[in-house]
Amino acid sequence: MNQALNNWKNTLEALPSLPVSVLRDGKTALVIVDMINGFLTEGPFASPRSASVLPAVEKLLCFAKENAIPAAAFADCHKPDSIEFQAFPPHCLAGTSESEIAPSLCEIGGFTRIEKNSTNGFLTEGFQEFLAANPDCERFVVCGVCTDICVMQFALALKCYANQQNRPLEVIVPVNAVETYDAPAHNADLMQTMALQMLANAGITLVREAEYDD
């Protein structure tokens, strides 16, 4: 088992970068998953690990805005009686700063905010509207947190939907722009590694990072 994990880590380290020039064809969308205060700076799931990918996400959003690439940003947003709290501690309550998207991303702007009440943003009405509004997109770049929960569930659902519709659609995850948190029953290194392998096994394209022109 340890050898298999080490082999996969070596594979991740050898991933190619993604030249951003290929994203300028008018067929790309950006999806930012849960880059909100409740997972970055405050609340039970806040983690310096998750916050560490904010610069990479900022660069992706800046590039998207500068190149008229449609972008959506999910924001976990729950009511006090959310069923999800049967599995997770209460977090990101509606109307609190935890449910707000990171200030630096708000300052950049250029995205559609989509609130979600579950770990899978694909199921939201807001994302279905975003998907319908961008029928020509053949490539979705997905970034954010947490890799093994909300990012993975969304990316897998999007890929499965495209397959079911027989729609050519590439889902790309830059590894330097996704992260997860550490907790006593949640080893971040293990969960990050396993989640990325599951994504790759499902036909999702992993890249080391986005490679910019400048």
Structural contact between residues 159 and 202, judged by C-beta atoms closer than 8 angstroms: yes
CATH of domain 22-211: 3.40.50.850
Angle at 37 between CA 60 and CA 177, to 5 degrees: 30
Q: What is the pLDDT of residue 4?
A: 73
| pLDDT value for 5 | 73
Residue ranges of the chain with pLDDT lower than 70?
Answer: 1, 214
pTM: 0.95
- Annotate 124-186 with DSSP letters as a single string: SHHHHHHHHH-TT--EEEEEEE-IIIIIHHHHHHHHHHHHHTT---EEEEEGGGEE---BTTB
Strands (E) in the chain, as ranges, are: 18-19, 28-33, 71-76, 112-116, 139-145, 170-174, 178-179, 205-207, 210-211
Residue 1: what pLDDT?
Answer: 53
